[in-house]
């Protein structure tokens, strides 16, 4: 198998073209490849590109609910595999990395293009391959059924959850994948590592959830610590950053642009 490894701000992925596979990747294959001590090590695997008309392309588009017109505008489709063998709907850094992968192979230039993911259609553009690859993450929803979060239909804003006697105030957001954004004045990697997995698998979130601990620095800057569903503690996440920025603006704590 031929594969390549890229990273975006320390969020690293293995990129595998389906043409390089003699057989589909099993869950055991995925777990081993992503294991840092016994495998190559990564925060996930980007499997693609799947060309229009292929079985995987059609499956991904159908699962995302893309219309015929949307499908026809997509250059290719992408599967995003977590280190535990599960599949993610969307990844901001993963999409930036995959865009660079396509650029490196001469499959895209500097013009915008569309990719199909389980989280919907995404518009991407390689503006500067070394410094700037832009991905439009799409609309953010705070409505509980669209994330999803259990309970009555509502915007999940400043709700409270208690774990081992510690109370957390959070907002939930859907951006093609689910996010639980915890508001905290003091964040740390140890906080994310201790409580991230507990929140990820909390009964409130029937499909599990990505967890971020958000600290607002000023009107345009935030800091976050991340626990990714199916991956664990990660150094960066594009969709997490997008969700946190959206929450900060929604609550009036920041105004655009947010870094």
CB distance 213 to 192 below 8 Å: yes
For residue 172, what are the domain limits? 144-250
The alpha helices in the chain, defined as continuous H runs, are 27-34, 55-64, 68-73, 92-104, 189-200, 238-250
Instruction: Assess if residue 106 is contained within a domain.
Output: yes
Q: Per-residue pLDDT tens for 156-199?
A: 999 999 999 999 999 999 999 999 999 998 999 999 999 999 99
Angle, helices 238-250 vs 92-104, to 10°: value is: 140
- pTM of model > 0.85: yes
pLDDT at residue 131 is higher than 90: no
Same domain, 16 and 54: yes
Q: Per-residue pLDDT tens for 34-65?
A: 999 989 999 999 999 999 999 999 999 999 99
- pLDDT score for 1: 86
Instruction: Assess if residue 257 is contained within a domain.
Output: no
- pLDDT score for 129: 86
H/E stretch holding 72: helix 68-73
Phi, psi of 210 (to 5 degrees): -80, 140
Q: Of 120, 136, 152, which marks where a domain is finished?
A: 136
Same domain, 214 and 148: yes
Instruction: Assess if residue 37 is contained within a domain.
Output: yes
- pLDDT score for 130: 86
d(CA 174, CA 250): 13
Same domain, 132 and 149: no
Same domain, 29 and 132: yes
Instruction: Assess if residue 61 is contained within a domain.
Output: yes
The position carrying tokens 């993963």 is: 94
Percent of the chain with pLDDT over 70: 100
- The band of 95, judged by pLDDT with boundaries at 50, 70 and 90, is very high
Q: What CATH number is attached to the domain comprising 200?
A: 3.10.310.10
d(CA 254, CA 256): 7
d(CA 101, CA 26): 23
The pLDDT mean for the chain works out to 97
């Amino acid at each position: 198998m031929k594969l390549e490894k890229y990273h975006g701000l320390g969020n690293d992925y293995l990129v595998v073209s389906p043409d390089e596979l003699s057989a589909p990747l099993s869950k055991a294959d995925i777990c081993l490849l992503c294991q840092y001590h016994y495998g190559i090590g990564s925060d996930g695997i980007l499997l693609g590109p799947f060309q229009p008309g292929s079985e995987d392309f059609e499956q991904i588009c159908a699962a995302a609910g893309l219309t015929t017109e949307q499908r026809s505008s997509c250059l290719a489709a992408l599967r995003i595999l977590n280190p535990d063998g599960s599949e993610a709907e969307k990844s901001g850094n993963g999409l930036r990395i995959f865009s660079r992968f396509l650029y490196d192979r001469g499959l895209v230039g500097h013009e915008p293009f569309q990719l199909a993911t389980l989280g919907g259609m995404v518009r991407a553009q390689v503006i500067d391959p070394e410094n700037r690859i832009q991905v439009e993450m799409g609309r953010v929803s705070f409505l509980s059924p669209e994330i999803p979060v259990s309970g009555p239909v509502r915007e999940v804003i400043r709700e409270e959850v208690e774990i081992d006697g510690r109370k957390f105030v959070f907002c939930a957001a859907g951006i093609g994948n689910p996010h639980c954004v915890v508001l905290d004045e003091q964040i740390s990697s140890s906080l994310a590592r201790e409580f991230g997995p507990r929140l990820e698998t909390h009964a409130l979130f029937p499909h599990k959830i990505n967890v971020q601990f958000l600290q607002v620095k000023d009107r345009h800057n935030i800091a976050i610590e991340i626990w990714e569903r199916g991956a664990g503690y990660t150094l960066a996440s594009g969709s997490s950053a997008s969700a946190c920025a959206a929450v900060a603006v929604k609550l009036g704590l920041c105004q655009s642009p947010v870094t």
